Structure 1
Amino acid sequence: MDSFEYKVNEDSVGTRLDVFISNELENKSRSYVQGIIEGGAAFVNGKMRKSNYKLKVDETITLSIPEATELDVVAEDIPLDIIYEDSDVIVINKPQDMVVHPAPGNYSGTLVNALLYHCKDLSGINGVLRPGIVHRIDKDTSGALVVAKNDNAHNSLAEQLKDHSMTRSYVALVEGIIKQEVGLVDEPIGRHPKDRIKMAVVESGKKAITHYKVIERFESHTLVECNLETGRTHQIRVHMAKIGHPLVGDLIYGFKKQHFNLKGQVLHAKMLGFIHPSTKKYMEFVSPLPNYFEKIIIKLRNELK
């Protein structure tokens, strides 16, 4: 572990802690610095501080950088449902119950493990754990997801995500009856102030906008289409719970009493559209509802008869 100590001079007064450290560690990104600060690597006058802490004159910053660990993500022969593939991108129909990329406690059986077996080249922008991964969907959410095969494609797709020009449409089954035909939820989303594994609507959160419209109503549930204007973590799940209609099967944001013997929330990424990185033509891909989702809809329709 490498240790450093810095003294804050008058020129750095008011500077954010993460910005100061990023400037000192020229070969480290700001996101990396924020990560180690959150992990307790930085102290100001002996006290642990957050990334946005504003520095004062003559304060002493002590920094301990953990040693890098090499992670060998193994290619695994896991079948992929490929909607489209060329030399730049691959569009996958991800099944429910599959994690997108490796994380602590989950280093095998992920989409990345399967992609490494299938593809010789993937974009390296997001590092060894997330090669080619431009965006993600939750483990228990199924549907369309695009992966970049090279850095040019990755940068293009990431920019489309950033400027909200990528089209993403989801189908969800929610609790209760939504009376209006269409609606919009414009509520900022950030980390839950008390439960750090959850997201929540919080004033300090990032702007998040979800458009929804009713597809079909059942006895005590509603089938809706949700279109994302932004892409925050758990956005649809948090927003629908906020308006009193949490997703069926969502044990984190929804009801504890569940039906239909589910593995998780009933949410499917139905459609994905983007400008192709090389041809510059708009492309759109549709992922059919998985069997478990179709069976639930048939069951709910039969209950109305």
Structure 2
Amino acid sequence: MSERVHADFRADALAGLRLDAAVAEFLQIPRTQATSWIKEGYVSLFNATGQSLKAAKSTKLTATDRVVVDAPAPRDITDVKPQVVDGFRVVFEDDDLVVVDKPAGVAAHPSPGWHGPTVVGALMGAGVRVSTSGAAERQGIVHRLDVGTSGLMVVAKNEQAYTVLKRAFKERTVEKVYHTLVQGIPDPLKGTIDAPIGRHPGHEWRFAVVDGGRESVTHYEVLEAFGPAALVEVHLETGRTHQIRVHFSALNHPCAGDLTYGADPAMSANLGLTRQWLHAHKLGFDHPVTGAYVEFESDYPQDLDFALESLRDGHF
């Protein structure tokens, strides 16, 4: 497996960000790692005509800039081994892609500092070969779910599928439907949250609604209201990191169990939640090779179902 991380991308979707923030966002690594690579000369910056620009961590990117990363990968993310992961399930597989049902506690791919199970390792453990496109530690991964979020993910098995699926997610043609249990009852019961998201100014691993953040659009509808909480269906128009969690926290309706974004610890404990009540329930897209529309659904896992039934039964 490669001992280097390679990336070559245009900054169109990351325009306005600092170079260190853009590299961290694109590669999903800590900003400190991106800063270190920039300082050590592993990150190059070019304008639209190919002219080399100064690659300083604070350089603000324009939409036509090109960023090239060629850096030594941290040892702990290149040595991906097969893993047997409880609750991990292959929902669908053909020659081009595999759709999996990811349990909570599993990362999409290895990253610095994460030593737990990953989708990449679980697929290797299941004998599923995926695309060699992308960085060595995240082969075939075209989108991600948070470690604490369960549900459906699609992974590419060849380069054509990888390229087409990556483009589909970027162009927002993929139907992504989530269910979440939020504290309180949102008003109105159906609406759209259109608020920019960026890194939290005081917390490296948190995000927030901030001026100058990236466009973030969340459509929601309350399915069931229980008084202290509500079951909500969410359709994502964009796919920012922690988008659902950040948007509902900003409305003062954090996802139940999500202590990082302001959930009530007492309510979380009473519902038996040790993570955010957030599940990728449905995933639909045009097949990257045949062009046929395919759609998959995932039932709630046991911990989320227990919390929901507790509310339905009035035991909370």
TM-score bracket for the superposition, by shorter chain length = 0.7 to 0.9
> In structure 1, what is the equivalent of residue 102 of structure 2?
94
Aligned match for 1:219, one of 219, 227, 230: 227
The change in CA–CA distance for 1:200 and 1:17 in structure 2 (over 3 A counts) is closer
Rg bigger for which structure?
1
Judge conservation of contact 1:172–1:247 (CA < 8 Å) in 2. yes
Aligned match for 1:72, one of 79, 86, 94: 79
How far does residue 35 in structure 1 lie from its aligned partner after superposition?
A: 8.5
The letter for the 2-side match of 1:279 is T
Aligned match for 1:270, one of 262, 281, 287: 281
The change in CA–CA distance for 1:48 and 1:183 in structure 2 (over 3 A counts) is same
Secondary structure at the aligned position of 2:123 is classed as helix
Matched, 1:254 2:262: yes
Matched, 1:42 2:53: no
- Segment drifting more, 66-75 vs 186-195: 66-75
The change in CA–CA distance for 1:187 and 1:73 in structure 2 (over 3 A counts) is same
Alpha-carbon distance in 2 for matches of 1:304, 1:134 = 40
The change in CA–CA distance for 1:31 and 1:224 in structure 2 (over 3 A counts) is closer
CA RMSD of aligned residues (A): 2.9
Judge conservation of contact 2:106–2:116 (CA < 8 Å) in 1. no
Q: What are the Cα deviations for residues 18-71 of structure 1, in whole angstroms up to 9, with x where unaligned?
A: 6xxxxxxxxxxx979x98762264399xx96413289xxxxxxxxxx8655562
Judge conservation of contact 2:107–2:116 (CA < 8 Å) in 1. no
How far does residue 225 in structure 1 lie from its aligned partner after superposition?
A: 0.3
Matched, 1:121 2:129: yes
Alpha-carbon distance in 1 for matches of 2:151, 2:220 = 18
Matched, 1:300 2:311: yes
The letter for the 1-side match of 2:191 is G
Between the aligned residues of both structures, percent identity stands at 37
How far does residue 226 in structure 1 lie from its aligned partner after superposition?
A: 0.6
Pairwise mapping of residues 84-163 of structure 1 onto structure 2 (< 5 A)? 84-163=92-171
Pairwise mapping of residues 180-199 of structure 1 onto structure 2 (< 5 A)? 180-199=188-207
The change in CA–CA distance for 1:256 and 1:218 in structure 2 (over 3 A counts) is closer
The change in CA–CA distance for 1:37 and 1:252 in structure 2 (over 3 A counts) is closer
Q: What are the Cα deviations for residues 90-129 of structure 1, in whole angstroms up to 9, with x where unaligned?
A: 0001111222211223245222111122245311222211
Alpha-carbon distance in 2 for matches of 1:227, 1:221 = 19
Aligned match for 1:202, one of 192, 210, 223: 210
TM-score, normalising length: structure 1: 0.79
The change in CA–CA distance for 1:36 and 1:292 in structure 2 (over 3 A counts) is closer
Q: Which runs of 5+ in 1 are unaligned?
A: 1-15, 19-29, 55-64
Judge conservation of contact 1:97–1:263 (CA < 8 Å) in 2. no
TM-score, normalising length: structure 2: 0.76
Aligned length: 266
The change in CA–CA distance for 1:31 and 1:106 in structure 2 (over 3 A counts) is closer
The change in CA–CA distance for 1:125 and 1:35 in structure 2 (over 3 A counts) is farther
Judge conservation of contact 1:219–1:304 (CA < 8 Å) in 2. no
The change in CA–CA distance for 1:133 and 1:220 in structure 2 (over 3 A counts) is same
Judge conservation of contact 1:271–1:286 (CA < 8 Å) in 2. yes
How far does residue 296 in structure 1 lie from its aligned partner after superposition?
A: 1.4
Alpha-carbon distance in 2 for matches of 1:37, 1:102 = 16
